[in-house]
Every structure is written in C-alpha cells, then in structure tokens.
Structure 1
C-alpha cells in the first residue's frame, strides 16, 4: 500500500493516469473472470445433460462419473492451474488467455455432477449468495486502506490443508469432516477474495510506471484466474453446506 501512496504523490496528471489505467486493468480482470465463469457453467450444464437421458445414466455419464476416468477429470483442473502458473512467463498474453478459457471448460466438466446431485433452484440460490458475498469481499479488498498482504501465507497454508483433508475424505467419506472442510473452506476463500483483489491492485500500481503492456495483459489473466478460483471454491463449499439434493 505504501507504493500506492507514493505513486499518487507524483502529481495530478500521473495520478489520473494511474487511476484510469487501474480501472481498465480491473475491468479486464473481472471481464476475463466472468467469461471463464460463463464457460464453466455452460460446459457443466451441457455435459450433465449428455450424461443423463430420460433419467438414466448414459455411456458418457458412466465414463466420466464412475470409471477410472473420473480421477483424471477430478485432478485435471489442478494440473491446468499449476501449468499456467509455472509457464505464464513463457507465454504470450493471448496464449495465456486461451489456456485460461480451456481450463474453465475442463472445470465445467469436473463440476458437471452438481446438476445431478443438487436441485437447480438450490444451485441458483447458492450462486447468487456466492456472487453477493464475492462482490462485497472484492470491493472491500479493493477499497480498504489496511494492508492485508500478510494474510497470504496463512491462507495458502489453509488451502493446502483443505486439499489434503479433501483427498483423505474421498476415502473416509465422513459427513462430519466434509462439513468442517466446507465451513473452513468458505472462510479461507472469503479471505483470499479480499487478499487477491488487493494484490491485483497493488501489483498493477507497482508496475504501471514501466508501461509493460504484455506483462499487464498476463497479470490481468492471472488475476482473473485467482479470483475465479476464489469464487468457484466458495461456491462449491457453500453448495455443500446449503444445497438441496435431488
């Protein structure tokens, strides 16, 4: 945040340029994230429709939900995230955007089962609740004067713990553990929403003076990816807590 204040003292013209560029950058982040969200839910809905016909699981449904292929589908989004994060510096902004949208489609495949497990009404309700919570947290992260960069290490450790606990519970199938994971998950990704929003803002301000459009383009995609993951995970955990099952 100190960087932000330092840049704003340069002068009225420079401040206006930073503010205008920051708004455009944040609009690109949210716009890219929104397209990714649309791709995910459209893919999930379409695939769930192909997986079930006349109330019966189709061959496609058997393959993606009950065969060993389900493990590949389950962990494929993680591979995309790690791959994009590791290779972003060697990609062009256009390539990174294509990879992000491909990841969003794969995530849709991974999430398609929610349309078979939960009622459509509860999915819509939880989506709206998540959207309101996400918007409020992101706005707070953007506007707060408090430096919350120190939250990062703690929250990332929490995410790692959630992943380990979720993998263990795949075999234990404990309702109590799933409930605890969901409650903690909502809190962790709520914190990450505010943290990631502030980080996107401060990273832009730190690099805006260099005028590196290629870097800013890739930074917007990575920012969109982080906020997308925050939203999706918060949505999934809230759905596990409050969703009505079919």
Structure 2
C-alpha cells in the first residue's frame, strides 16, 4: 500500500508538470493557423504601386496617397521580405491600415471589388490580430502583424513567413492587391501587384509546412520533446518505486 501511494503521488506530480509546460497557440482559423511557406523561389519580386487618383475621394486637392509595397522571396525560401513606402497620407483618420486583399483591383479602380483580406485559413477579422502570434492572424493582415501606419512618410521593412510568391498556394499574393484603409477600415486607395523581377527559379514549387507554428514558452525546446522527457522521468520513477 505504501508503494502504491508513492507511485500515485509521483506520477500525478510529474504529469501535472508536463501539462503545465506544454502549451500551443490558440487556433483561430477554420483550417488551422497560418503555415510557414517554404521553398519560395528566390529573386522573385512583386510590386504594387498606388495610382495617382484616390478611390475614397477622387477630387481630393491633395491627391492620392503616394507609394508602393515591394515583396521579394527570401534567400532561404522561407516567406518574403516586404518594403513599404507611403507618403501624402490623409491629415486625419489614422492610424492607417493596409492589407493584402483577396482579389485584384478591376479596371475601374474600385477598391471594394478587392473583397476581403487574403485569408486562406478562413480566420476572419475577429478577434483582432495578436502580433506576437502572427501565425494566428490572417495572412493578408500586414498592419495587424507588423504595425499600423503611424507617420508620414511611412517606411517599413520586415519579413513575413506566411505569404507566397509562387502561384498555386492559397497564400500566393502576386495576382492580388494591396489596400490602404482609414483607421475605421474605410478604403482609401488600392493597387495590384505586378511581377517586377524573376528568374528560372520561378519554376520551383513552394510548399507550406503542414502544422501550425508551435509556441511552447520553453525557448528551443518543443512541446513534444518536453512531454517525452517528462514521461521518461515518470517511467524511471515508477521503476524506482518497484525496486523499493
């Protein structure tokens, strides 16, 4: 009986420790969290340049927001690097938002026709994006993941692991658009991405990792490794009890 009591306490304590140290991201999309895109072909560059006429107020005497968004596949094939340059922003209504949208801008320049954000994992816009867990955000929510437009001019460069430069993936943005919004989400202006540079590498196939990015809070240790380590301790503890 004494050995059984020790066994129960030992196993319960260690299993509780496993559960306490093993955590994963909240899953926000119907199809899971965004997957890291791998094997993006290098040297493929897409650019979206804003038009001269504003969509929200075509007769604005200040003219449209000026600037562009350039996106290039990273050398290691994982995700893309995005360069953002905007100026001549409205004098009120910020901080401003900008996103990759699901559809291209039609010939008439109607930004409403771009539909919603690029969202291949069917996340939706609520709850709001948590930038510290960008894999739980919409792929197209650039300002949610990387910061709103808070200055004029606004210049930013950052890596995004979840967008693709190869057609065929839901996260491919090269045939889609960029939309700039007021803080209340009203659309100010928009532009299509155009292929600006490419090499034979465009024939490569990009792939997306099947599992969501995991957050364990344990530095470099993965949750599976922790579970196995703790279970090994449980087994050793059980062996020790039976020896006693």
TM-score by length of 2: 0.25
More helix by share: 1
Q: Which has the larger radius of gyration?
A: 2
Normalised TM-score (structure 1): 0.25
